């Protein structure tokens, strides 16, 4: 097996021999008992004559090819979301273009599912914005995506978090917005660990109180809601909310720390999945979901077990930088030619963090070609960390 020199947290260097066996890629047909979306990353164009901090240069061919990779595994695509660097390199104009392209690609094949994230990110957050301004911003994005034939994920709004005076403002915004949608939508409660600008969402810094507000809003608009994705990284809070959802409204787990237990569920219910970690672990996710549907709980748990340490590392604090780990693995696995990201975000994680990620991905069998992955990371370490060998 390949060997390379990796750094440790104490500053030491040591040779590391790869030990993992790449997981087998599942083949169709796929039979799942849960609806499963992967929030998909964007491939930046490393050869674009653009300023990476200021300009948005997307490699459209490879970005869309990766969507086909997810569909090939039976997963739906959650598009233009946090994993695609929405608000951290991907602006609204490009997010809309990405959504339109993904919708068009999905139409070329049977069974391909894609939902598009909409929000208010074309409007700068300010306490001076009125609630009507925020409603108009949501409606602008919703109308654009619906005009392209897209289904909606209504994302949390930084502008609303900055301007709202309390729960009543959230009720007014969501009531108006949901009242105008063509088809039931997925709501998204993104916790402050993913985006500090969303602290106090739903009008309270206490998650239990915020949950009460959110549930009241969903109860008043249940016919227009397919489900809600919550990303609080707390299994207990998700289960508590799941048990109180209005009839017909589904829970989509966004908990990248505890997804196996939440998807499997308990005697009182289960969560569907809309996860950023399903981007880098897509083959395992597909196989595990098929095992669950077949009633093989032992295989389901065995498949997911080695992905949990990897996911918890990728999504470790500061959690908002998890996208760097997602793209790093895509590059190691040959899904893109360079380890580059929109906004220069490849610089948000250290060489030590990436080395830990590399070890965990190897142990989980998530390096498709261990030799290629080792060679790529060794070259990166030589250039960026001065590690030779």
pLDDT in tens, 307-358: 999 999 999 999 999 999 999 999 999 999 999 999 999 999 999 999 999 9
Per-residue model confidence as pLDDT tens digits over 248-298: 999 999 999 999 999 999 999 999 999 999 999 999 999 999 999 999 999
What's the pLDDT band for 55 if we cut at 50, 70, 90? very high
Integer Cα distance of 330 and 41 in angstroms: 9
Q: Is residue 155 within 8 Å of residue 118, measured between CB atoms? A: yes
Would you say residue 349 lies in a domain? no
CATH code for position 244: 3.20.20.70
Is residue 250 included in any domain, yes or no? yes
Element housing 190 (H / E): strand 185-190
Does pLDDT of 1 surpass 80? Answer: no
Whether the predicted pLDDT of 206 surpasses 90: yes
Q: Is there a domain that residue 339 lies in?
A: no
CA atoms of 282 and 61, how far apart (whole Å) = 20
Range of the domain at 160: 32-305
DSSP state of 181: -
Give the count of domains, the chain: 1
Q: pLDDT band at residue 154, thresholds of 50, 70 and 90?
A: very high
Q: What is the pLDDT of residue 25?
A: 87
The answer to whether residue 164 scores a pLDDT higher than 80 is yes
Q: Average pLDDT of the chain?
A: 97
Contact 87, 158 (CB under 8 A): yes
CA 57 to chain centre: 20
Whether 213 shows a pLDDT value over 90: the answer reads yes
Structural domain contains residue 154: yes
Task: Give the model's pLDDT for residue 125.
Answer: 95
157 sits in the region (left: phi over 0; alpha: psi -120 to 50; else beta) called beta
The answer for 204, left when phi > 0, alpha when psi is -120 to 50, beta otherwise, is beta
Which residue in 241, 229, 232, 299 sits closest to 269, CA to CA? 241
Residue 85, helix vs strand vs coil: coil
Q: What is the DSSP letter of 368?
A: S
Domain-located, residue 374: no
Establish if 388 belongs to a structural domain: no
**Residue 284, domain member (yes or no):** yes
- Position 318 in a domain: no
HSE, CB side, 13 Å, CA atoms: give it for residue 182. 11
Asked whether residue 124 carries a pLDDT value surpassing 90, the answer given is: yes
What whole-number distance in Å separates Cα of residue 213 and Cα of residue 203? 8
CA-CA distance, 274 to 254, in Å (whole number)?
6
* Structure-token pair, residue 376: 């790529």
């Amino acid at each position: 097996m390949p060997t390379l020199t990796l750094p440790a947290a104490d500053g030491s260097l040591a040779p590391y021999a790869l030990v993992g066996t790449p997981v087998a890629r599942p083949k169709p047909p796929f039979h799942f008992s849960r609806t499963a979306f992967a929030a998909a990353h964007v491939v930046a164009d490393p050869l674009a004559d653009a300023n990476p901090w200021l300009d948005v240069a997307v490699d459209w061919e490879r970005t869309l090819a990766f969507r086909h990779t997810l569909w090939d595994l039976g997963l739906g695509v959650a598009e233009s979301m946090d994993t695609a660097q929405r608000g951290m390199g991907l602006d609204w104009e490009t997010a809309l273009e990405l959504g339109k392209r993904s919708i068009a690609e999905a139409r070329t094949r049977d069974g391909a599912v894609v939902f598009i994230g909409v929000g208010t990110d074309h409007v700068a957050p300010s306490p001076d914005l009125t609630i009507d301004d925020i409603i108009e911003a949501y409606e602008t994005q919703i109308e654009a995506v619906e005009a392209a034939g897209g289904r909606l994920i209504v994302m949390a709004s930084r502008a609303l978090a900055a301007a709202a005076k309390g729960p009543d403002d959230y009720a007014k915004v969501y009531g108006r917005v949901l009242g105008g949608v063509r088809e039931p939508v997925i709501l998204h409660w993104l916790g402050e660990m993913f985006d500090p600008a969303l602290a106090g969402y739903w009008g309270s810094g206490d998650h239990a109180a915020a949950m009460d507000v959110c549930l009241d809003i969903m109860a008043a608009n249940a016919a227009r809601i397919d489900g809600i994705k919550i990303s609080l990284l707390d299994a207990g809070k998700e289960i508590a909310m799941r048990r109180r959802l209005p009839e017909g409204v589904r829970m989509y787990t966004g908990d990248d720390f505890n997804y196996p237990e939440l998807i499997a569920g308990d005697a009182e219910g289960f969560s569907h999945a809309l996860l950023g970690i399903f981007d880098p672990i897509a083959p395992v996710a597909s196989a595990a979901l098929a095992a669950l549907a077949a009633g093989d709980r032992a295989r389901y748990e065995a498949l997911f077990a080695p992905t949990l340490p990897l996911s918890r590392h990728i999504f470790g604090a500061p959690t908002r930088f998890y996208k760097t780990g997602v793209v790093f693995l895509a590059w190691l696995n040959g899904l893109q030619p360079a380890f580059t990201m929109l906004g220069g975000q490849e610089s948000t994680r250290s060489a030590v963090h990436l080395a830990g990620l590399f070890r965990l991905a190897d142990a989980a069998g998530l390096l498709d070609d261990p030799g290629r992955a080792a060679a790529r990371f060794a070259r990166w370490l030589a250039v960026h960390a001065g590690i030779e060998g």
